[in-house]
Structure 1
Amino acid sequence: MYLDYFGLQEKPFSIAPDPRYLFMSEQHQEALAHLLYGIRTEGGFVLLTGEVGTGKTTVCRCLLDQMPDECDVAFVLNPRLNARELVATICDEFHIPYEPGEKSVKELVDRLVAFLLETHAAGRNPVLIIDEAQNLDPEVLEQLRLLTNLETSRKKLLQVILLGQPELRDLLARPDLRQLAQRITARFHLGPLRPHEIGTYIQHRLMTAGCDMHLFPASLEKPLAKLSGGVPRLLNLLCDRSLLGTFVEGKQQVEPQIVQRAAGEVFGEEPKPNSGWTPVWLGIGGGLLVGVLVGFLAWQQVRTSPEPAVDERQATATVTGAGAENGQKLAGRTPTQTEKIETPIPAVGDEPKEYGRVNVTPAGDTVEEPGTVPGLSVRPDEPAIDLFGWLVLHQGRDGRENALQVLMALWQQPSYVGDACTVAGEQGLRCFETVGSLGVLRRLNRPVALELVAPDGGTFYAALVEIRDDLAVLRLGDKQMEVPTSRLFENWLGRFTVIWQPPPGYQKALRPGDEGEVIDWLSVKMVELQVLDPEQLVAPVRLDNHLLDAVKTLQGESGLQADGIVGPRTLMELNTRLGGSTPRLQEGNS
């Protein structure tokens, strides 16, 4: 009903386990890695558990898409069976013929054993997947264990993957099932999405459905997290009803009152937010802690500085010319001297806390090393200050905006007034917010605005402009610091924003069958990268199977999900391969 209104190609929040919509959170990546590891080892049992609606079946569907060619898969969806019925179902799934009169378990097991021996001799690997395995009776589980007794000197001839709710773990902990439990070679419990992943999850599904507009503002992420408890299935239902309500009211973005009404429809009553996410006392305590820390910093600065104190909240973000790509100076920008803090900031509380130590130095008095930014380097002999103390002092009233200003400066954008992402859009650039790991940042190889979470729950932002061996270089305005990556990423939950430049004509993620200016551009670039034969192009150029295969090849080589959907990550990788003139996180790594 609302698809055309929002420019969607399909419903983005269906609860069907479509692997194209799988949001690879850190947990989901680990879950998939455990499953892949299990089927590539010597055999036995692999266990994946999780609460209802957390995405177990969807992860499994993604596994099926990545299953090695030598695997033969049997998928049992209804495990409420006795031992004979289960073995018969396994035979059916493996297409093992048996006579209708064969009623005993032994007769069916003999057929299955013969099949396993034949497939092993042919170099095949049979894999049995059982969903909702918490419904299996102990006697049936024991029969499964007996099936895995067939083995060679190197591996078992049948691998079994059990998917189930948390009750499955309790079932396998029974003393009479300890022999089976000892054969589990990999296990993982899939929990709900974390609060900071909610917004990225929603945007991922919208983009997969063909819309890259932010229909759910960031202010709704916490309410949606509380209402859904982070369970993807409940979140999908809430978002689907919210989009319907937004369409009915003729709005362009979802609003809080629409979400509240949607929750009432989904849950059948006035929703009561789950207080497990963010206790009220934590928010109050965090506010008090920040207030005390800011007050102390102000007093400390007045006491140690020989010059009049400057209100950092009113300071305009500036970057030296050497901070721009290719060493070119930014018009109208000159280095501003950083203050020198002589005394480390003391921790607040009963026990001293240290989240990471950094060095601050005047811009003109530096020790430069290869790869550092002149005028902003760090002196190793300077007094160290606390990471979050530095952030409190420098991020100003809007930390995220200040971090994005650094990125805009690296893109050679002149001084501006207003929202960075809005201004970026006017200049042919875009903001892309997502989640990832340190490995993702290295592969992306672009400066990013990191969202950092302090131990008290406070949120801070800083621009990550360089990774040098095991050191990360952060920047806010003209202030820069180094911090060990191991310490920095203890306080980074994976969320970041990057500024990128889309190709001409790009409006939203490209899907099979699309054509137009941006598809023409894409085909030319794929030919340049020699992943597409120009003779395969037929006018009018469309995102057909040939071009789609080229896109998937690029995605696979870049560590991206090879789904053929051309979105920001794929286009950024394409730009990197082509050597585009974009700011780099690691100079020379392109």
Structure 2
Amino acid sequence: MYKAFFGLTESPFSISPNPKYLYMSERHTEALTHLNYGLREGGGFVLLTGEVGTGKTTVSRSLRQQLPENTDLALVLNPTLTERELLAATCDEFGVSYPAQAGLKELGDALRAYLIANHASGRRSLLLIDEAQHLSAEVLEQLRLLTNLETDDAKLLQVVLIGQPELQALLRQPLLRQLAQRITARYHLLPLSREDVDAYVRFRLQVAGCVQPIFTAAAIRALHRLSGGIPRLINLIAERALLGAFAANAHRIDDKLVVKAAYDALGVEDRGTSGWGMLAYTFCGLLMLVAGWFGWQHWGWFPSPKITRIEVPVTLPPDAKVMKRFETALAQASYQDEAMLTLFRIWGFEPSLDEANCDNASRVGLLCQQGTGKLEELQALDHPAVVRLFDENASEFYADLLRLDDKSADLLIDGETWTVTRAWLEQAWGDEYTLLWRLPKSGSRSITPRSGKADVQWLENALSRAFKERPRKISKFDSQLADKLKRFQQAEGLKPDGVAGTQTLIRLNARSREPMPRLDRPAEVAVQDEDETAVERSAS
């Protein structure tokens, strides 16, 4: 109806899947990279989650197209199955024959024989399950047992689980902790940003034959606000907006047309432009920031859990009751996303579990630094961090490192803070960490001789504070500043390249006087119960 009016050859916002309309945003590309990495590593499980309509199917389709030629794929799209039904469906997908009345053991044996033979012939076996949030715990455990078959460097069966956020909650059940520990890569797909929405709309219009921008900038902002950045909702609203514009004989779509289209298509009313609504939103945001800053100033840390001490023994044996609680806490701490949520809280922010990740750090003025290295390297950065550790059984768990000195450390594990010896931490150390840090006020991620006056002055001030010198008033990156920067980098064990990059800026932040979480700040010790006094524990 409206296609000729806008010079389109077909409907650009149809919700029917069409490969030529496949738009891979930066987030979709990153999700695909994570999944491919997990499969290359040879692990048992790879996980992709996201809200309805965020594009999980898009990523899944791209993943299938990129699979190596020696990969055999079993695709399960309806996972509301029993254990037997899932095994039978997997056998059907792989072309494995089995008796009509085969039970769990017969199906499992037939599938295992196939996997062994497939691997021997140089082929890989991949099972991809969509809508995996509908799987029962028993079925997931059956999948874990299937992935027990392995060689020295790879699993004979790899499983990709794709589902809504409820799948994450399902995998947090204690019954499934062994499966959760086998997930080698996981990614939560967030909705599109406003810039992505603009690019998405332009892309689909161009594919449909329209090279002129139809949606105004205000319309794109309204479309992002009303759809929440979810591609499926963008399509529904944009389709209705095109119809509305055609009916109004308007060749350009403004925000008013988008607002009306959203109400017609979804019944969504636009409250985002209300003055009182925006005022309330801004007030809440400022209140959160003030609360976080006040927490740093007066309590040191945002969370205030109990402290339990675990120290190197002298003569007393360890307290069995407290040790049992400690081991239970470790078993419950196998999820990195929960530790990341706590790290955001330490900085004074309260995102949802799905939002507490590196992608969203910039939204609250922070940057995310992920790295590998020794404990001493993380101590030099002097920022709280999510750290990967291993218990005495070599099982992986995640904790928030709150404080660290030469003798002990405070770890937040499963909602409770434990003081452990440095020797114990070094033995459990898993070489990986993730920390949050704050950029200079200008937002620059590096300061070089080409940087502006504000950045150069910030660097001069920060370096002078680090060396306890009086800062100069400067307007350009002169030789004296370059020498001071190289001197600081040498003192920090960094390459003295004269460029203030990420590692240099993190260290300068840590040595500033601004209120922010630091590793050298002692954690506040709460009053303990009589049976929770300091206990002694061997680091061996």
Q: Secondary structure at the match of 2:192?
A: coil
Tell me the alpha carbon deviations over residues 351-381 of structure 1, each in whole angstroms, 9 at most, x when there is no partner. 99353463469xxxxxxxxxxxxxxxx9633
User: What is the rounded CA distance, in whole Å, between the counterparts of 2:205 and 2:262 in structure 1?
Assistant: 20
Q: CA deviation at 1:89?
A: 0.7
User: What is the rounded CA distance, in whole Å, between the counterparts of 1:274 and 1:178 in structure 2?
Assistant: 45
What residue number does 1:475 align with?
Answer: none
Q: Secondary structure at the match of 2:75?
A: strand
Q: 1:470 to 1:71 in 2, by over 3 A?
A: farther
What residue number does 2:58 align with?
Answer: 58
Does residue 37 of the first structure (1) align with residue 134 of the second (2)?
no
* Matching residue's letter, 1:59: V
What residue number does 2:214 align with?
Answer: 215
* Matching residue's letter, 1:355: G
* Matching residue's letter, 2:64: L
* Matching residue's letter, 1:204: F
User: What is the rounded CA distance, in whole Å, between the counterparts of 1:196 and 1:281 in structure 2?
Assistant: 25
Q: CA deviation at 1:38?
A: 2.0
Tell me the alpha carbon deviations over residues 558-587 of structure 1, each in whole angstroms, 9 at most, x when there is no partner. xxxxxxxxxxxxxxxxxxxxxxxxxxxxxx
Pairing 1:427-506 to 2, within 5 Å after superposition? none
Does residue 355 of the first structure (1) align with residue 443 of the second (2)?
yes
Q: CA deviation at 1:150?
A: 1.1
Q: 1:91 to 1:4 in 2, by over 3 A?
A: farther
What residue number does 2:82 align with?
Answer: 82
Pairing 1:171-570 to 2, within 5 Å after superposition? 171-268=170-267, 270-273=269-272, 279-280=278-279, 353-356=441-444, 358-359=451-452, 380-381=477-478
Q: CA deviation at 1:245?
A: 1.5
* Matching residue's letter, 2:246: F
How many residues are aligned here?
310
Q: Contact conserved, 1:17 with 1:61, CA < 8 A, in 2?
A: no
Does residue 95 of the first structure (1) align with residue 95 of the second (2)?
yes
Q: CA deviation at 1:382?
A: 9.8
User: What is the rounded CA distance, in whole Å, between the counterparts of 2:248 and 2:234 in structure 1?
Assistant: 21
Q: Secondary structure at the match of 1:230?
A: coil
Q: Secondary structure at the match of 1:207?
A: helix
Root-mean-square deviation over aligned CA pairs: 3.3
What residue number does 1:48 align with?
Answer: 48
Q: CA deviation at 1:14?
A: 2.1
* Matching residue's letter, 2:131: E
Moved more, 224-233 or 252-261: 252-261
Q: 1:256 to 1:470 in 2, by over 3 A?
A: farther
Q: CA deviation at 1:111?
A: 1.5
Q: Contact conserved, 1:17 with 1:57, CA < 8 A, in 2?
A: no
Q: CA deviation at 1:223?
A: 1.1
User: What is the rounded CA distance, in whole Å, between the counterparts of 2:158 and 2:452 in structure 1?
Assistant: 54
Tell me the alpha carbon deviations over residues 52-91 of structure 1, each in whole angstroms, 9 at most, x when there is no partner. 1111111101111212111111111100000001111111
What residue number does 1:125 align with?
Answer: 124
What residue number does 1:149 align with?
Answer: 148
Q: Secondary structure at the match of 1:163?
A: strand
* Matching residue's letter, 1:32: L
Tell me the alpha carbon deviations over residues 170-227 of structure 1, each in whole angstroms, 9 at most, x when there is no partner. 1000001001001100000011112232211211222232322101111212211111
Tell me the alpha carbon deviations over residues 240-292 of structure 1, each in whole angstroms, 9 at most, x when there is no partner. 111121122222111333212211112235444499xx944677999xxxxxx
Q: CA deviation at 1:167?
A: 0.6
Q: Secondary structure at the match of 2:45?
A: strand
Q: Secondary structure at the match of 1:72?
A: strand
Q: CA deviation at 1:110?
A: 1.6
Q: CA deviation at 1:32?
A: 0.4
What residue number does 1:338 align with?
Answer: none
What residue number does 1:509 align with?
Answer: none
User: What is the rounded CA distance, in whole Å, between the counterparts of 1:16 and 1:355 in structure 2?
Assistant: 41
Does residue 67 of the first structure (1) align with residue 67 of the second (2)?
yes
Q: Secondary structure at the match of 2:58?
A: helix
Q: Secondary structure at the match of 1:252?
A: coil
Q: 1:484 to 1:217 in 2, by over 3 A?
A: farther
User: What is the rounded CA distance, in whole Å, between the counterparts of 2:501 and 2:38 in structure 1?
Assistant: 34
Q: Secondary structure at the match of 1:210?
A: coil
Tell me the alpha carbon deviations over residues 136-190 of structure 1, each in whole angstroms, 9 at most, x when there is no partner. 0000001111111111122110010000111100100000100100110000001
Q: 1:283 to 1:270 in 2, by over 3 A?
A: closer
Q: 1:246 to 1:484 in 2, by over 3 A?
A: farther
Q: CA deviation at 1:19?
A: 4.3
User: What is the rounded CA distance, in whole Å, between the counterparts of 1:379 and 1:352 in structure 2?
Assistant: 17
What residue number does 1:336 align with?
Answer: none
User: What is the rounded CA distance, in whole Å, between the counterparts of 2:245 and 2:503 in structure 1?
Assistant: 43
* Matching residue's letter, 1:170: A
User: What is the rounded CA distance, in whole Å, between the counterparts of 2:49 and 2:273 in structure 1?
Assistant: 22
Q: Secondary structure at the match of 2:191?
A: coil
Q: Contact conserved, 1:19 with 1:58, CA < 8 A, in 2?
A: no
User: What is the rounded CA distance, in whole Å, between the counterparts of 2:21 and 2:224 in structure 1?
Assistant: 19
User: What is the rounded CA distance, in whole Å, between the counterparts of 2:498 and 2:19 in structure 1?
Assistant: 35
User: What is the rounded CA distance, in whole Å, between the counterparts of 1:39 and 1:72 in structure 2?
Assistant: 13
Q: 1:206 to 1:484 in 2, by over 3 A?
A: farther
Q: 1:280 to 1:229 in 2, by over 3 A?
A: farther
User: What is the rounded CA distance, in whole Å, between the counterparts of 1:283 and 1:217 in structure 2?
Assistant: 25
* Matching residue's letter, 1:353: K
Pairing 1:573-588 to 2, within 5 Å after superposition? none
Greater relative contact order (Cα < 8 A, sep 6+): 2
Q: CA deviation at 1:11?
A: 2.2
What residue number does 2:5 align with?
Answer: 5
Q: Contact conserved, 1:22 with 1:59, CA < 8 A, in 2?
A: no
Identity of aligned residues (%): 52
TM-score by length of 2: 0.53
TM-score by length of 1: 0.48
Does residue 20 of the first structure (1) align with residue 20 of the second (2)?
yes
Which portions of structure 1, spanning 4 or more consecutive aligned residues, are displaced by more than 6 angstroms? Answer: 281-286, 483-488
Tell me the alpha carbon deviations over residues 368-426 of structure 1, each in whole angstroms, 9 at most, x when there is no partner. xxxxxxxxxx9633999xxxxxxxxxxxxxxxxxxxxxxxxxxxxxxxxxxxxxxxxxx
Q: CA deviation at 1:3?
A: 2.5
User: What is the rounded CA distance, in whole Å, between the counterparts of 1:352 and 1:31 in structure 2?
Assistant: 29
Q: 1:95 to 1:210 in 2, by over 3 A?
A: farther
* Matching residue's letter, 1:186: A
User: What is the rounded CA distance, in whole Å, between the counterparts of 1:40 and 1:274 in structure 2?
Assistant: 47
User: What is the rounded CA distance, in whole Å, between the counterparts of 2:480 and 2:213 in structure 1?
Assistant: 43
Q: 1:204 to 1:359 in 2, by over 3 A?
A: same
Q: 1:88 to 1:140 in 2, by over 3 A?
A: same
User: What is the rounded CA distance, in whole Å, between the counterparts of 2:452 and 2:236 in structure 1?
Assistant: 48
Q: CA deviation at 1:45?
A: 0.2
Q: CA deviation at 1:15?
A: 2.1
Unaligned runs of 5+ in 1: 287-350, 362-377, 385-468, 472-482, 489-590
User: What is the rounded CA distance, in whole Å, between the counterparts of 1:143 and 1:184 in structure 2?
Assistant: 15
* Matching residue's letter, 2:213: H
Q: Secondary structure at the match of 1:216?
A: coil
User: What is the rounded CA distance, in whole Å, between the counterparts of 1:39 and 1:14 in structure 2?
Assistant: 32
What residue number does 1:441 align with?
Answer: none
